[in-house]
Structure 1
């Protein structure tokens, strides 16, 4: 009983103290039916909602891109048109969704332990037709220099503002490799990485993991699956070159080895994957 009285007395003092708390008027935000003190006490355990930047191509022209991204269904935070406009001497990106809102651009997705990246990402759609299948094979459509210049400026700003790490700047095909191929092998990942936008392996580390093997030498499927999973891709650890594994390897090659995107599990692919793991996951 004595212990209960002590606890009750302590709680009473605490409640009494709370009841008498009067924050400074300048600290309080009026929200209609109540007010919130938004500055006096701040929790340490927090980070930005935005952790990923996802690049896409639209696969259609400017007019259809705008219709699809604004009329319902799919959406993205930004659209880079085929020939970006200019205002005051600076290129203009079209913002379709505010940064603090959730756009519907990633769909069913996964990256490095996190599912459904719509919740935690910004999406940039780029007007580009993607590819055309012809008698001679698949022809990928190039990006325009003005588009890349704008993407570099836009991405650099978003990365700085939200503290997005290089390994979390990804393509749609990285986070949904079984169903997506954008932004494709002609997107200049290496050029952008050299300017601080996105991840890229160190050449010396790639050579270390090649260990004297020819780049096209057959490599261990199991080891490639393990390295890709550790870097961030969703890939089943089957140890065999099944169709899903080939699609994931192709997505990886489009990003980091676009000269050869056959999906073959070769030594260079393995070395690049291991170099990325060493650089960004160690």
Structure 2
């Protein structure tokens, strides 16, 4: 540093503190402001707001309880969730669920993900990890429909249902924002897998979205899909998925179709688009995204 700057620097600091109204002109000493007690008036609240928590994301842990607990609490792993639901509970007359991260804090469970225009899923979500191995390690290289998926336990699903219902009600999370890890990261993640009972969760606990059978039937018969891939891609994007709208049935699109099918049509989740898949998608867009029903096109 030059000598010129060593001389002028104290003058600059003095000048920076002078703007306080009580400081004397030409003085380098700032007078402390008088003590002030703030009175926050919240009697008038703006309706233009919503909860910071907008999504509920469900996962499986791909391991047993000890492995899952170690992973979700290890500083080196840098992954966590708000809740961990075991397969069984030793508690008589109840079910023990582990809260690993307070809901007021952000858990690191979503990773690189996207839903309905948001790429900051961790910042606006609650994450529930469910103890389940997913499938045997030797099945990892097989197509999704050939893997041997592990079932969830009834008591575990009851606990998930009760917990999810409380969270959804507490934050008023929209049904189409109750999602699986595979929905927000298709191809990269496949949990909670095709055996997760989304329809049961919807019917028993009023949690999540599910296509109405009558609405699906209308689209199947009155507005059938005729193979337009661009239409399919745009509909998936409108519902919330990150998918290229190119008109090409590429691997990224197949991954998204498989994720949608695992969630909303688990009887067949090979990632091959068909009329039933698109009818379910259009029904969901009408029910939850406000899409107006089109004119019937069937003859």
TM-score, normalisation: structure 2: 0.78
Q: Corresponding residue for 2:111? A: 107
1:163 partnered with 2:172: yes
Q: Is the 8 A contact 1:227 1:273 kept in 2?
A: yes
Alignment gaps of 5+ in structure 1:
1-32
Q: How many residues align?
A: 247
Q: CA deviation at 1:113?
A: 1.3
Alignment correspondent of 2:66: 63
Q: Which has the higher strand share?
A: 1
Query: Which structure: larger Rg?
Result: 2
Post-superposition offset of 1:160: 0.9
State whether structure 2 residue 86 is matched by structure 1 residue 96.
Answer: no
Measured after TM superposition, the shift of residue 138 of structure 1 is 1.2
Backbone CA RMSD of aligned residues: 2.1
Residue 63 of structure 1 and its aligned partner are, at CA, apart by 0.4
3-state DSSP of counterpart to 2:169: helix
Which of 174, 189, 209 in structure 1 is aligned with 2:219?
Answer: 209
- Among 223, 226, 234, the alignment partner of 1:226 is 234
Aligned pairs for 1:119-158 within 5 A: 119-132=123-136, 133-134=138-139, 137-158=146-167
Matched, 1:193 2:202: yes
Measured after TM superposition, the shift of residue 188 of structure 1 is 0.1
Alpha-carbon offset, residue 219 of structure 1:
2.8
- How far 1:40 moved relative to its partner? 3.9
Describe the SS at the equivalent of 1:278. helix
| Cα 1:239–1:155 shift into 2, 3 Å | same
Structure 1 residues 139 and 213, CA, compared in 2 at 3 Å: closer, same or farther?
A: farther
- Aligned to 1:91, the other structure's residue is in SS state coil
Residue 155 of structure 1 deviates from its aligned partner by: 0.5
What's 1:281 paired with? 289
Which position in structure 1 is the counterpart of 2:40? 37
C-alpha deviation, 1:44, in angstroms: 3.0
| Residue number in structure 2 paired with 1:25 | none
Q: Hey, what's the Cα distance between the residues in 2 that align with 1:113 and 1:147?
A: 32
By how many angstroms is 1:171 displaced? 0.3
Report what 1:253 is aligned to: 261
Report the secondary structure of 1:146's partner residue. helix
2:53 paired residue number: 50
After the TM superposition, list the runs of 4 or more consecutive aligned residues in structure 1 that deviate by more than 4 angstroms: 33-36, 133-136
Q: Structure 2, unaligned stretches of length 5 or more?
A: 1-35, 291-299
User: Aligned pair in 2 of structure 1 residues 63, 36: CA closer, same or farther (>3 Å)?
Assistant: farther
CA contact (8 A) 1:55 1:123 kept: yes
